[in-house]
Structure 1
């Protein structure tokens, strides 16, 4: 029987060592490498050629969700299991949209982890059907909004509409990055693109635009002059 090629991605060395130790006695599991963040994992993909990536959610340089999105885009046959200490509904949703096959908490038992890895490696998904339904509903809503929303200078992408709504709620670039599980630089770039497409100069103007076009309820608008 061929072994399952695993890559472990976590920003804590002790976690990586612990996971590797948990797999050492399993003849069907082969840890081919490790990475301390999403960017490093992405850079090692072509060399290590893992079949399954065990990915932490929150990491510096590139988050697990952002890395998951990039890996699935370039290596669609690779399975990705997100593993985290946080019970965050938004992170579960973002992981699912990024293409992850499952979302696990780090407090699970060794036997549960091994079972999850083998299930995902066999092509099964560990995503809750209720979450799939929720994601489908949200995607339909976003697609409908996208087909009806026309803005001066071009159309905003789904991601840019999400960022615009967060700007209207007073989120800084750092908070936007945390909410969407992207880097702060990526969030800053989204803000710049939004302002350029809307022909605006300041975040406060973008927030007013979002309220005017009913992208967020008026009561949620907060003044935010940071740029």
Structure 2
């Protein structure tokens, strides 16, 4: 029996939401696994810093300022990726926002913005990526959902976010079935509470204590602990995995 290949050597990846948090960690992890990476996010120093760090690691990288709610922007991002780095074979769609509010008083614009970025943005990203992967009959896409698509987080008023993340998981299954016989695998990755900059602010310190107490492993995930699952789903080691929603939640959803 051959050893599973978890490496991504010689491949080209596109990561959305790459400038911070989980997206940034995954972009660095993909580069560390041997791929060249196009990093899509809103323009800014964080995006440039990420690309510089990937270059320093010895891999090629490309900063792609873009908006996941804009199909034209995504098509241009894919075009630039292929022009600068080569044929796109891997993608991680991590762009997302959160903006809590009580459901009964939530403005329609607030609901729509979260759904547009967290759900429709993932669909549009998959669509742009698949348009170059499907003709080659080769590709792997990972969509970052959340355990909030499976459970409702105690104390967090985010009906729009929870619904969008649940939709991402089912979208991933749906696309996986559409494209299963055309060489493109699609899976979802659903993190639990993770120590991103958003969860490291002083004003949420008390809430974080509750998050950790509610997690069987007794802590939040480190960003780097999401990298292995993402790389696995992209790699040949997961060649028979499609339509999976991989929960990486420290056991949270077992309770």
TM-score greater than 0.5 by the shorter chain? no
Relative CO higher for 1 or 2, CA cutoff 8 Å, sep ≥ 6? 2
Larger Cα-atom Rg: 1
